[in-house]
């Protein structure tokens, strides 16, 4: 270390889960990361989401305090020892629906996934509290950027500009960074699925779905719809998400949400088992319907060009059927933090610094592109499978189970650091909490 060159200046565009996590990792490595967020304050929805054990291991290398934060919120334990997949369609009575011998399609062990769930908005706020105030500038919507001599100049919609050595586009699915970097070659598209989400106190969930279901991670499958639920926040809340196939185009692709009456949920579950068909009753009168978009039909050809690169959903926005979009962003964050730390340690200036940064960002893209594509591709397939629309698995529980286990295996055993040189791998691991 002992760098005599000034710290690298990194502009992180977007203060979502991955932008904030990346900025925490960079600042921990002595890099001056500044977040430029278009909103006027921290904003995230109050929905549940979860991180796998593998993602927590990568997160620990970014900063062990992140895992502590998540552990404090999730109760440091997975909700269950297996994921259960139920037939949401055929049972005709609540008794039958809760009877494993009649309605359980299959289970997959969670020992390798070991999800820890939390509420998104609380996790984001907890992470934000780890950053000094000056690390975030709100009300800055990126509209473009230019590379000028040895800097990248960011342009915002209020007419202001900012300068940095590197721009990390953590600006989500409709990334402006991606649009500028790739001259609009890659765009998010509608997956023809939508979701309706809510959270209820755990006792309300138990009353509606039974003890066995509400206290475990469960998915109820059926034609064109699935109902996912799992406990979050130390089993005090039940996170509920209905995912449905939708043939028509989404009315507002830019906003990706539309307000609807909860009777729409009743409609998508017509003909389903009574317990599932009644789930709409747990929703408020007016609910937000989220269009699910991803980059599957039109993925980026590279994640880096010049002094800019794409991190998180900006690079590989995925449908949520594999439940690991943010986990994949954690992987990106670790790789980019490690590569930039390595450049910073070399204390380069001028042309040498420019070349080292270019090379680091290209290495990042090379290390991440295939993984990102694999995730959004297989996530779409899993959604089709849950909706009994995926030809190779059809309605066959054994084939579904096999496909799921293959995919989960890949998710959790993938070695994020393998594409990097041994000294970079060691650098990444050096940030873990000492034993």
91 binds ligand FAD (CB under 6 A): no
Question: Using CA atoms, how far apart are residues 22 and 59, in angstroms rounded to an integer?
Answer: 10
- For the chain, the first-to-last Cα distance in angstroms comes to 23
Q: Could you give the string, one character per residue 45-64, with x where binding to ligand FAD holds by CB under 6 A and - elsewhere?
A: ----xxx-------------
Q: In whole angstroms, what separates CA 109 from the centre of its chain?
A: 22
- Active site members: 197
Q: Based on CB atoms, which residue is closest to ligand FAD, 75 or 397?
A: 75
Q: In whole angstroms, what separates CA 127 from the centre of its chain?
A: 15
188 binds ligand FAD (CB under 6 A): no
312 binds ligand FAD (CB under 6 A): yes
Position closest to ligand FAD via CB: 16
CB of 263 to ligand FAD, least distance (A): 21
Return the residue of 12, 324, 417, 420 that touches ligand FAD, per CB under 6 A: 324
169 binds ligand FAD (CB under 6 A): no
Return the residue of 10, 12, 19, 382 that touches ligand FAD, per CB under 6 A: 19
* Token digits of residue 182: 């790739």
329 binds ligand FAD (CB under 6 A): yes
- Of the listed pieces 26-34, 57-65, 140-148, 403-411, which binds ligand FAD according to CB under 6 A? 140-148
Structural contact between residues 108 and 83, judged by C-beta atoms closer than 8 angstroms: yes
Closest CA to 240 of 208, 285, 274: 208
CB of 141 to ligand FAD, least distance (A): 4
CB of 3 to ligand FAD, least distance (A): 29
38 binds ligand FAD (CB under 6 A): yes
Strand partners, 196: 242, 289
CB of 187 to ligand FAD, least distance (A): 14
Question: Using CA atoms, how far apart are residues 23 and 127, in angstroms rounded to an integer?
Answer: 10
HEC string of 172-197 equals CCCCHHHHHHCCCCCCCEEEEEEEEE
CB of 256 to ligand FAD, least distance (A): 9
CB of 418 to ligand FAD, least distance (A): 21
- Compute how many residues bind ligand FAD; rule: CB under 6 A: 33
| H-only helix segments in 29-160 | 53-62, 64-74, 94-98, 100-103, 120-128
**Angle, CA of 267, 270 and 271, to the nearest 5°:** 175
Strand partners, 281: none
Q: Based on CB atoms, which residue is closest to ligand FAD, 19 or 231?
A: 19
296 binds ligand FAD (CB under 6 A): no
150 binds ligand FAD (CB under 6 A): no
**Within 10 A of 178 (CB to CB), how many other CB atoms are there?**
27
325 binds ligand FAD (CB under 6 A): yes
168 binds ligand FAD (CB under 6 A): no
Question: Using CA atoms, how far apart are residues 207 and 103, in angstroms rounded to an integer?
Answer: 18
15 binds ligand FAD (CB under 6 A): yes
**Within 10 A of 52 (CB to CB), how many other CB atoms are there?**
22
Half-sphere exposure (CA, 13 Å, Cβ side) for 92?
0
Return the residue of 326, 333, 382, 417 that touches ligand FAD, per CB under 6 A: 326
Return the residue of 25, 26, 36, 303 that touches ligand FAD, per CB under 6 A: 36
231 binds ligand FAD (CB under 6 A): no
300 binds ligand FAD (CB under 6 A): no
Structural contact between residues 361 and 309, judged by C-beta atoms closer than 8 angstroms: yes
CB of 14 to ligand FAD, least distance (A): 3
Return the residue of 32, 195, 344, 384 that touches ligand FAD, per CB under 6 A: 195
Beta strand pairing call for 218-222 and 104-109: unpaired
Under rule CB under 6 A, which residues in 235-294 are in contact with ligand FAD?
241
Which residues, other chains included, contact 162 with Cβ-Cβ below 8 Å and sequence gap of 6+?
Answer: 11, 34, 36, 137, 140, 153, 154, 156
**Within 10 A of 120 (CB to CB), how many other CB atoms are there?**
17
CB of 222 to ligand FAD, least distance (A): 18
CB of 43 to ligand FAD, least distance (A): 6
- Of the listed pieces 60-68, 106-114, 169-177, 246-254, which binds ligand FAD according to CB under 6 A? 169-177
Question: Using CA atoms, how far apart are residues 210 and 252, in angstroms rounded to an integer?
Answer: 37
B/e letters for 225-253, b = 16+ CB within 10 Å, e = fewer, are bbbbbbbbbbbebbbbbbbbbbeeebeee
313 binds ligand FAD (CB under 6 A): yes
Q: Footprint of ligand FAD on this chain (CB under 6 A)?
A: 13-19, 36-39, 49-51, 140-142, 170-173, 176, 195, 241, 312-313, 320, 323-327, 329
């Amino acid at each position: 270390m002992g760098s005599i060159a000034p710290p690298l200046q990194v502009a992180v565009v977007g203060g979502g889960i991955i932008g904030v996590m990346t900025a925490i990792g960079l600042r921990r490595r002595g890099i001056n990361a500044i977040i430029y967020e278009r909103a006027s304050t921290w904003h995230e929805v109050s929905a549940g989401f979860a991180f796998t054990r593998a993602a927590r291991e990568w997160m620990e290398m970014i900063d062990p305090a992140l895992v502590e934060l998540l552990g404090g919120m999730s109760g440091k334990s997975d909700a269950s020892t297996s994921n259960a997949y139920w037939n949401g369609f055929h049972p005709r009575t609540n008794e039958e629906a809760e009877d494993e011998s009649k309605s359980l399609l299959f289970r997959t062990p969670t020992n390798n996934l070991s999800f820890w769930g939390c509420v998104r908005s609380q996790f984001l706020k907890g992470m934000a509290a780890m950053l000094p105030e000056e690390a975030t500038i709100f009300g800055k919507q990126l509209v473009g950027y230019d590379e000028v001599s040895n800097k990248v100049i960011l342009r915002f919609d209020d007419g202001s500009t900012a300068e940095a050595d590197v721009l990390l586009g953590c600006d989500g699915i409709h990334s402006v960074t991606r649009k500028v970097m790739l001259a609009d070659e890659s765009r998010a598209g509608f997956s023809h699925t939508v979701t309706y989400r809510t959270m209820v106190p755990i006792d309300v969930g138990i009353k509606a779905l039974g003890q066995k279901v509400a206290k475990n991670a469960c998915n109820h499958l059926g034609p064109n719809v699935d109902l996912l639920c799992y406990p979050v926040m130390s089993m005090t809340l039940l996170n509920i998400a209905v995912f449905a196939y939708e043939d028509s185009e989404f009315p507002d692709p830019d906003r990706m949400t539309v307000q609807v009456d909860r009777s729409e949920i009743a409609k998508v579950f017509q003909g389903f088992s009574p317990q599932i068909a009644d789930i709409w009753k747990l929703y408020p009168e007016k609910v937000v319907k989220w269009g699910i978009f991803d980059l599957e039909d039109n993925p980026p050809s590279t994640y880096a060009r010049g002094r800019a690169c794409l991190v998180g959903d900006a690079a590989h926005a995925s449908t949520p059927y594999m439940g690991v979009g943010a986990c994949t962003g954690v992987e990106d964050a670790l790789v980019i933090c490690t590569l930039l730390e390595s450049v910073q340690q070399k204390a380069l200036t001028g042309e040498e610094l420019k070349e080292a940064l270019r090379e680091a960002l290209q290495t990042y893209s090379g290390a991440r592109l295939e993984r990102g594509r694999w995730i959004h591709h297989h996530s779409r397939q899993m959604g089709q499978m849950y909706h009994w629309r995926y030809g190779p698995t059809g309605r066959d529980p054994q084939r579904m189970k096999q496909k799921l286990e293959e995919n989960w295996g890949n998710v959790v055993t993938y070695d994020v650091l393998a594409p990097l040189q041994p000294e970079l791998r060691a650098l990444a691991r050096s940030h873990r909490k000492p034993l």
